[in-house]
Amino acid sequence: MRKLTLISVVLLIVSIPTFAGGLLTNTNQHILFLRYLARDASTQIDAVYSNPAGLAFMEDGFHMSFNVQSAFQTRTITSTFAPFAGNGGEATKKFKGEASVPFIPSLYGVYKKGNWAFSGSFAVTGGGGKATFNNGLGSFESGVAMVPATLTAAGLTGTDQYSVQSYMDGSQIIYGLQIGATYKINENFSAYVGMRANYVNNSYFGYLRDIQANINGGSMVNVSDYFTGVSTYLTQVAASYEAAGNTATAEAYRTQAATMQETAAKFEDKELDCDQTGWGITPILGVNFKKGKWNVGVKYEFNTKLNIENKTKKNTTGLVAYNDGVNTPHDIPSLLTAGVTYEILPELRASVGYHHFFDTHAKMANNKQDYINEGTNEFLAGAEWDVCKWAQVSAGMQRTKYDVGDGYQNDMSFAVSSYSYGFGAGFNIAKNAKVNVAYFWTNYGNYKEDYDSYNGTGLAGTDVYRRTNKVFGVGIDYKF
């Protein structure tokens, strides 16, 4: 009989990005990104993240920026699996997860003096959301859906219905603290050297409870309790035969009782409550070229070697990978960005950018990197217009193209190529203060995955992955 587990969380890593960017990286760290997107050649304070070499071309002084974003995301997995009909009559079910993070802060600081600029930032550089699936996932329920067929094959005919209480939530956050120095080599060139300390804090909680079936076509009963009852009865019968001196028959009944108890254990409630933490360092290099109306920025973030360690409160799944103290690879892929900005008119600017994430170089749980054909590619464009001396409006778009195979995707962690759009405005509320506001949303494609053996059940099935994402943001930039 098939052992029931929290199949989906076997993957250990739950990817729940609420921002733009690669598989584990958030690229929208400042409101200017939300309303412009193509910031890879920026020479404003958001360049602390997007183009740190460009900071050499800021005005002298101390600059600060504080930003808050609110992100809201839904994930819908439409799963088709014939045995699902035993719970509600339909072979196709929708499992919906929602993630909302109303407060996502980021803080930037730059001190610029002569040819030098020293900068730092603190932000959520990866993940940032908590996805909750109140009805579990198809990978959870598929094992339970096999219960009627399994019991019928065991001789309990007429069993054709099941029910289960299923739940899953997971969160993934990577906090980043970045520091570095920029030097202006000459009037056109500058360079940056820096690093980011990354701290990972993941948590997963899920369960399968009260697995029931209409055994022998009767009313719904808890399957584990049913087999426990059968085991108890057989143990009592064995005791009667033992008392009568028939030890051979008694032993046979005890063997059957043990088998029934093992079966009952397979249908007991399964629960996982696990936190994961780890840290790693990302070296960062950048160069910038500025001449006339043109500015070009290039940045490279090295691959971050990182392991996460389990801090497990409860694990009744039988999966040793979730035991307390177990370590799992969680590398952050290296990233190359390049951007160009051109001043079309004194009051009108346009930019383009390119990002490449070297995903195949990053080690992941269960070697998921082996199912990535090439890294993630992003193409960005944006423009900003000074409406008047105290206000600017801007808009931009980004194309994110993942190149992952079926072996990478699953209903708890999937990557779907997308188009993102953003627009907003900046307001100079004082000579040395500016407020930015923006709205950003993403249109995702669908990803369909067909299985010859759906979650190892031996029967065919299909998952279709869909997502929505929207982000609101407001921030203030201030110069002392």
Interval 27-56: pLDDT, tens: 888 999 999 999 999 999 999 999 999 999
Contact 405, 62 (CB under 8 A): no
Mean pLDDT value across residues 297-326: 92
Using CA of residue 74, residue 75, residue 78, residue 84, what is the dihedral sign?
Answer: negative
* Higher-scoring residue by pLDDT: 370, 346: 346
Whether residue 347 has pLDDT greater than 60: yes
Q: Is residue 71 part of a domain?
A: yes
Q: For the domain that residue 355 is a member of, what is the CATH number?
A: 2.40.160.60
Domain assignment present for 472: yes
Residue 263 within a domain: no
In a domain, 160, yes or no: yes
Range of the domain at 55: 8-207+272-479
Q: pLDDT band for position 12 (50/70/90)?
A: very low
Residue 122 lies in a domain: yes
Residue 390 lies in a domain: yes
Count of the separate structural domains present in the chain: 1
Would residue 282 count as lying in a domain?
Answer: yes
Q: pLDDT: is 302 or 169 the higher one?
A: 302
How many CA atoms within 13 Å lie on the side-chain side of 34? 26
Distance between CA atoms of residues 101 and 471, nearest Å:
9
Q: Which comes out higher in pLDDT, residue 363 or 223?
A: 223
Model confidence, pTM: 0.89
> Does residue 6 carry a pLDDT above 50?
no
Report the pLDDT value the prediction gives residue 319, as an integer from 0 to 100. Answer: 78
Give residue 17's pLDDT: 46
In a domain, 453, yes or no: yes
Residue 3, exposed/middle/buried by CB under 10 A (0-12, 13-18, 19+)? exposed
Taking residues 205-230, what's their average pLDDT?
A: 95
Give residue 459's pLDDT band: very low, low, confident or very high (50, 70, 90).
Answer: very high
Helices and strands: H and E segment counts in the chain: 6, 18
Tokens at 443, concatenated: 């249109």
State how far the Cα of 402 lies from the Cα of 416, in Å rounded to an integer.
Answer: 7
- CA gap 50, 70 in Å, rounded: 20
Instruction: List the structure tokens of 465.
Output: 């992955």
- Residue 8 in this model has a pLDDT that exceeds 70: no
DSSP string, 25-62: -----SHHHHHH---TT--STTHHHH-GGGGGGSPSEE
